Amino acid sequence: MKMRPLGRSGLNVPPLCFGCNVFGWTVDEAASFRLLDKVLESGINFLDTADVYSRWVPGHSGGESETIIGKWMKLRGNRDRIILATKVGMDMGDGKVGLKADYIARAVEDSLRRLQTDVIDLYQSHKDDETTPQEETLAAYDRLIKAGKVRVIGASNFSAERLQAALELSAKSGLPRYESLQPEYSLAERASYEGALQRVCENYGVGVITFFSLAAGFLTGKYRSEADFGKSPRGQRGIPKYMNERGMRILAALDAVARETGAQQASIALAWLLAKPSVTAPIASATKPEHVDTLVAATQLALTADQVARLDAASA
């Protein structure tokens, strides 16, 4: 697995990040352990989670995914092999939300406890908090880095303007900078990243780890009609908006490249992202160990310029 630099962070990561939001939601603890074993055996040691996963499930309070990862790392004794990313800022209930310094200081301790580790490799602002000065947030992260509890920081769900403002503030103040960005980006969702946000990441050398890289599973090709929505909880939540003329055009282009390459549609959709110079590592998830092979295959799939162009055109 050829590693890639994540921005200017000094971290080198594989060209695929495994998304762990399914743990404790659609995948129980035992199945999560099997998935994690398969992922690590396949050369993917970059795991992304968040404190809020999976608070949306009835009876959950958040932290379920982090807890499972922590138990797995403790049981396997492999923390030193893992590049561990988690996030803070989404609403955890009881006023636990946002990016104020005192809340970050409490939230990181909760994440470290659940993850059963002393340090988080990549700690990310899960979403922008315009009610808190960016200097306060970055200074809070600075204290965590100096205390050895966090290695580097990243951002998710930031606008181009706010991300650039944070990066310029870091350059002027000497505070740590966001070394990565998590934007929603896929063949099915291009507009929010391509353009201003992409230019900021390129101009400032920010690594990009895309979420919803397979559009909640739509780009796997298993959803072709309304009758398919019930194939998974994620399908019921996220797929209907793609079932239109453009969505069918994207699937047709994926099908055509699949016939040419012999690869699965999911592998092709991830390889398309990896063909974009600004993308470091797409985040993708799976619920069964055999699905991991399809994700990993994307890292070995080199699409031709013509194939990329056709996928670009179909998803324009």
Catalytic residue IDs = 53
- Rounded CA separation 88/99 (Å): 8
Sign for the CA dihedral angle at 288, 56, 109, 212 comes to: positive
Q: Inter-axis angle of helices 29-41 and 64-76, to 10 degrees?
A: 60
Find all residues with CB under 8 Å of 133, minimum gap 6, and list them.
none
Q: List C-alpha distances in Å: 144 to 14, 104, 252.
A: 25, 9, 48
Strands 4-5 and 12-13: antiparallel
Question: What is the Cα–Cα distance from 77 to 79, expressed in whole angstroms?
Answer: 6
CB 79 within 8 A of CB 70: no
Q: How far is CA 294 from CA 161, 231, 284, 290, in A?
A: 36, 18, 10, 8
For the chain, how long is the longest CA-to-CA vector? 55
Could you tell me which of 270, 298, 303, 262 has the C-alpha nearest to residue 43?
298
Distances (CA, A) of 218 to 67, 153, 251, 269, 286: 28, 30, 9, 10, 13
The amino acid that residue 171 corresponds to is: A
Task: Specify whether the CB–CB gap between 101 and 134 falls below 8 A.
Answer: no
